[in-house]
Chain A
Amino acid sequence: MLSRSANDLLWMSRQVERAENTARMLDVTYRLSMLPYRIMESGEKWAEPWAVPLVTSGLATGYYKANTELTAEKVIRYMVLDATNPFSIYSSLQAARENARGQRGALTSEMWESLNRTWLEMRNIDYGNITARGVSNFFDWVKNRSHLFRGVTFGTMLRDEAYSFIRLGTFIERADNTARILDVKYHTLLPSIGDVGGAVDYYQWGSLLRSVGAFESYRKIFRDQITPSRVAELLILRDDVPRSLHSSMNDLYEILQSLSDSDRHEPERLAGEIHAQLHYGRTEQIFKLGLHEYLMQFLDKIEALNTEINRHYLTLDYT
């Protein structure tokens, strides 16, 4: 298929995944922000919850250019509705739809209709609508539109190259997002590993799990108290948790194997290397290196993988 088409399709699914992740993050923040302060024990630090999604997405600078104070309404406006913020849910869905519009020929009509409808509805949403229908209901809507799109894609699309590039976009964005969420939680909210076990800590780790839809999975697997090392194990090393790094790398490696040929095999090799480190990794090693360092290294590797995918399949210049 055309390199430009592959690129558009990859970004289409990346933007949908991004919109979903932003909604997840904001939804959890919203729930967290409603917790009463009295659950805090003395000495616990309570970072302002509305700063977290800004930091996670690397958008704090952009936010403070336009705003002086941190309020729920302003963060929601900026991260959901702001057309000038390229990472807002509005912008992500718009970009996804624009990418799809350029590649309608590669999509099934049901996929296009689903995405187009999402965009048409999003275009008519303002802050008043969000509060009137309930903030969480709005985030559920975003998640559901993303689920629907993925489901329609899975259920109707020909298993061709286009399908592979669509999946690539989903899993690259997902791996990137899970790593960022883990990192920010660790650094913004809990400066040291010793602060474990308090009520705030429980709610914060719990909310992190919820933001990636893994709270119930944690309960099923560990049937025990929530600890950082178990959360890390769950979201980094386990391959049966759909939003874990290992699970995302399983998919990325498999897709890149299928796209590999004698002229284009470096992306597959690199994905295999990253995958192997997760597949054979241990929690102790992660904490020995430091969770933050580990995650930074992971993000660098994902970026390198991105570059290789671009170079081998998507760029318009041949050498």
Chain B
Amino acid sequence: MASPIHDEMRGSDGNVLPHYQSYAAWLDSIPPERLVQKRNEAEAMFHRLGITFAVYGEEAGAERLIPFDIIPRIIPADHWHTLERGLAQRVQALNLFLHDVYHDQKILKAGVIPSQKVLANAQYRAIMQGVDVPGGIYAHISGVDIVCTGPGEFHVLEDNLRVPSGVSYMLENRKMMMRLFPELFSRQQVAPVEHYPDVLLETLRGVAPHGIDDPVVALLTPGSYNSAYFEHTFLAQQMGIELVEGQDMFVRDDTVFMRTTRGPKRVDVIYRRIDDDFIDPKAFRPDSILGVPGLMQAYKAGRVTLANAVGTGVADDKSMYIHVPEMVRFYLDEEPILKNVPTWQLSKKDDLHYVLEHLHELVVKEVHGSGGYGMLVGPASTMTQRAEFRERIIAHPEKYIAQPTLALSTCPTFVEAGIAPRHVDLRPFVLSGKTTRIVPGGLTRVALKEGSLVVNSSQGGGTKDTWVLEA
């Protein structure tokens, strides 16, 4: 795609756009030394607060800060409203799809999506067939990755319906900005995000098993070596619920209990931050020590709610991504508000042929990959890397998809050389329970290297505070 790169502050022609004007005027009045000082202050503060993430592959327990950029990303009210409606629509369709897949499979019978693709998917959980979950909601917490290519032109990059993370950074980044630059928040009406934990708790309590009036909710973590452990502790604390590990719970008579200093205590809703595979050694991987033996039995008996439900991976898999617009049409009889990024499926012969010819200009991703591992960014790759990927693709074409290198929007970012544009994406969080709620904002990730399109924190990306302006 040869379209010019859209900068969210200066458009493509260099003039500051209306929703950035107030901030740009302030920024012009600030001496660079003050920004350096504020950045250092932020870094010291994040260290002191221990807002870190564990890095896989480094020495056990190694912790790193995700770089925080002190220049906010600003989204005008009208753009947000479109985004909000589009996200709600998309996640609603995905939940209907999941319910359908695990019940009547109407969409497969209608031939809209090939049955084989769903039922043979590694993320399809046969154990969930015919199981009813409260309210028919499967993905209670969804993180939908969005990229922007022009003013108000949003595309969905991927849906995360298993255990999406990052929301703690959305909250901590806002807290940090308010601490560093309180004056900015009186200049502009920025929509608050601080109530996210309350909305999350309400969502979780709303999907408790039938007949439970005052449900006990717990957050299940794999433990302190997990990369998102900070977030688990943070959310549990903010919601005032117990942070449990598998060993803290046991199942008796299809009921889940926590081991407490006052004896066993029943748990009704588990916000689990562990993948399906590890959640119950009796049902899935027998070698898992992270889960709770017998949990699936209690779940199927309707005695406990898991959020997200087991088996949501079948809907957020990259091979299923291309079908989401069809799901919206099929279940809601509406046109999708949010566009997908055009995607080549390498299991298709024609697509494979095209992609192998154009590796240098495409992004190739593993269907089951995540976190920016195992992907090839064509324009930034070397001949050797492309040759290597070509072999891998030819060996297992079904494991890959390819997308054009989008002209991702940039945002002004404070880097070593000063303020410069860097590419960004956005992960808003959609909460589905009795109602659908989206806190205005999300996690903006920024590729700190000049020209880079990879925003993942594991690959040197940073984060920004995301401001949705109130109209």
Q: Which of A1, A104, A116, A161 sits near B233, CB closer than 8 Å? A: A104
Q: A101-B224, A117-B48, A316-B247 are contacts. A1–B263 as well, Cβ < 8 Å?
A: no
Q: Is the CB of A3 within 8 A of B48?
A: no
Q: Is B260 an interface residue (CB 8 A)?
A: yes
* CB <8 Å contact, B247 and A105: no
Q: Does A263 contact B (CB under 8 A)?
A: yes
- The residue in chain A whose Cβ has the minimal distance to the Cβ of B224 is A102
CB distance A113 to B48 under 8 Å? yes
Name A277-319 residues within 8 Å CB distance of B. 313-314, 316, 318
Cross-chain contact of B263 among A4, A120, A259, A263 (Cβ < 8 A)? A263
Flag B159-190 by CB within 8 Å of A: 1 or 0 each.
Answer: 00000000000000000000000000000000
Closest-by-CB residue of B relative to A6 is: B261
In contact, A1 and B259 (Cβ under 8 angstroms): no
Query: Do A259 and B261 form a contact, CB below 8 Å, given A1-B242, A2-B244, A101-B224?
Result: yes
Question: Total interface residues on B, using CB and 8 Å?
Answer: 22
Report the minimum CB–CB distance from B253 to chain A (whole Å): 14
Q: Which of A102, A261, A314 contacts B262 (CB 8 A)?
A: A261
Contacts of B258 in A (CB 8 A): 2
* CB of A171 closer than 8 Å to a CB of B: no
Complex CA gap A113/B247 in Å reads 28
What CA separation (Å) do A259 and B263 show in the bound complex?
A: 12
Is B395 engaged at the interface, CB distance under 8 Å to the other chain?
no
Return the CB mask of B229-267 against A: 1 if under 8 Å, else 0.
Answer: 000011011000011110110000000001111111000
Instruction: Judge if A109 is at the interface, Cβ distance under 8 Å.
Output: yes
In the bound assembly, the distance between CA atoms of A120 and B49 in angstroms comes to 11
Q: Is the CB of A105 within 8 A of B243?
A: yes
Instruction: A103 to B242: give the CA distance in the assembly, Å.
Output: 10
* Residues of A165-192 whose CB lies within 8 A of B: 165
- Say which residue of B47, B224, B248 sits within 8 Å of A3 (CB atoms): B248
User: How distant is the Cα of A117 from the Cα of B47 in the complex, in angstroms?
Assistant: 9
Asked if A116 meets B50 with Cβ closer than 8 Å, knowing A2-B242, A3-B259, A259-B261, the reply is: yes
Q: In the assembled complex, how far is the CB of residue A13 from the closest CB belonging to chain B, in whole angstroms?
A: 16
**Cβ of A279 to closest chain B Cβ, rounded Å:** 27
Q: Hey, which chain B residues are within 8 Å of A117, CB to CB?
A: 48
Chain B residue at minimum C-beta to C-beta distance from A7: B261
CB distance from A107 to the nearest CB of B (A): 9
**Contact, CB under 8 Å: A116 / B261:** no
Q: Is A112 an interface residue (CB 8 A)?
A: yes
| B202 CB, min distance to chain A CBs, angstroms | 19
Which A residue's beta carbon lies closest to that of B259?
A: A3
Chain B residues, CB < 8 A from A4: 245, 247-248, 259
Q: Known contacts being A104-B233, A105-B243, A113-B49, is A318 close to B264, with CB within 8 Å?
A: yes
Shortest CB distance B303–A (Å): 19
The answer, among B49, B245, B259, B264, for a CB contact under 8 Å with A109, is: B49
* Given A105-B233, A112-B50; A1-B264 close (CB under 8 Å): no
List residues of chain A with CB within 8 A of the CB of B248: 2-4, 316
- Write out the residue numbers on chain A whose beta carbons fall within 8 Å of the beta carbon of B245: 4
Chain B contacts for A103, CB-based, 8 A:
233
Complex Cα gap A122–B221 (Å): 29
Q: Which single member of B242, B243, B259, B263 contacts A316 (CB below 8 Å)?
A: B259
Residue contact A318 to B263, C-beta cutoff 8 Å: yes
Q: Nearest CB to that of A4 among chain B residues?
A: B248
A-facing residues in B52-98 (Cβ within 8 Å): none
Query: Is the Cβ of B237 less than 8 Å from the Cβ of A105?
Result: yes
Q: How far is the CA of A200 from the CA of B164 in the complex (A)?
A: 67
Can you report 17 A-B residue pairs in the complex whose CB atoms are below 8 A from each other? A1-B242, A2-B258, A2-B260, A2-B261, A3-B260, A4-B245, A4-B248, A5-B242, A101-B224, A105-B233, A113-B49, A113-B50, A264-B262, A316-B247, A318-B259, A318-B263, A318-B264
Residue numbers of B with Cβ under 8 A of A are 47-50, 224, 233-234, 236-237, 242-245, 247-248, 258-264
User: Ordered nearest first, which 8 A-B pairs have the shortest CB separation?
Assistant: A105-B237, A104-B233, A313-B261, A105-B236, A3-B259, A116-B50, A6-B261, A105-B243
Given contacts A2-B244, A112-B50, 7 further A-B contacts (CB under 8 A): A3-B261, A4-B245, A6-B261, A104-B237, A112-B49, A113-B50, A116-B50
